[in-house]
């Protein structure tokens, strides 16, 4: 697996690169830090990664939901101020229409790589989460990217954007069509080990 940090769509500074390094080490991934350029410029690196790719950086300054939906692979979004802690669990936040098998697969792979339990939090469509993590360890949140809004939903903030703005934890956003970013035959066994 590759953690790709530094693309233009998801900016990263020195602090973010250090966090990406810690995250990549924890999940047993290779860290690839680039100095700018778009995701499309890095398309070959993404296509060549047989074990999956995660983009890593901050949320874009504008058009957050649209940029996340357009990503070719899952994006680990680091909110300002998040610390490089040990992630004690993976939380799959399922929010109605945007529930995704890809998000569930990504959450399962990350939980297995972290050796952490996987928890599911279901939020009814159209509701604010109100959920906050508790306990000494911090979770790694995984959520499917919001679907393209219907015309009457355009003025309402998206679930993903709301979660990103309120989170003090890393959030992995899995866009539609990101299946190629998670190895298709990867399944965690009963002990959390990943096997193909």
Joined tokens for residue 166: 């309120």
**Measured between alpha carbons, how far is 27 from 74 in angstroms, rounded to an integer?**
15
Q: Which of 93, 91, 184, 99 has the alpha carbon at shortest distance from 140?
A: 91
Pick from 117, 84, 97: which is nearest to 159 by CA?
A: 97
pLDDT digit string (tens) for 51-107?
788 999 988 777 777 788 888 889 999 887 777 677 888 988 877 655 578 888 899
Could you report the per-residue pLDDT of 135-164, keeping only the tens digit for each? 546 788 888 776 665 555 555 556 677 777
Dist. CA 19–CA 33, nearest whole Å: 12
Predicted TM-score (pTM) of the model is 0.80
Looking at every residue in the chain, the average pLDDT score rounds to 76
Q: Are 55 and 10 in contact (CB under 8 A)?
A: yes
The CB density around residue 101, as the number of other CB atoms within 10 Å, is 11
């Amino acid at each position: 697996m590759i953690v790709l940090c530094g693309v233009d769509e998801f900016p990263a500074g020195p602090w973010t690169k250090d966090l990406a390094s810690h995250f990549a080490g924890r999940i047993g991934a290779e860290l690839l830090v680039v100095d700018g350029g778009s995701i499309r410029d890095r398309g070959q690196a993404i296509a060549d990664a047989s074990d999956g790719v995660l983009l890593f950086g901050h949320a874009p300054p504008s058009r957050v939901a649209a940029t996340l939906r357009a990503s070719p692979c899952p994006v680990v979004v680091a909110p300002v101020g998040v610390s490089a802690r040990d992630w004690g669990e993976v939380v799959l936040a399922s929010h109605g229409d945007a529930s995704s098998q890809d998000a569930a697969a990504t959450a399962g792979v990350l939980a297995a790589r972290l050796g952490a339990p996987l928890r599911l939090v279901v939020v009814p469509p159209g509701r604010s989460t109100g959920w906050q993590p508790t306990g000494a360890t911090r979770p790694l949140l995984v959520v499917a990217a919001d679907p393209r809004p219907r015309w009457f939903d355009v003025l309402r903030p998206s679930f993903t954007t709301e979660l990103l703005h309120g989170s003090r934890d890393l959030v992995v956003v899995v866009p539609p069509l990101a299946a190629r970013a998670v190895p298709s035959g990867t399944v965690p066994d009963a002990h959390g080990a990943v096997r193909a």
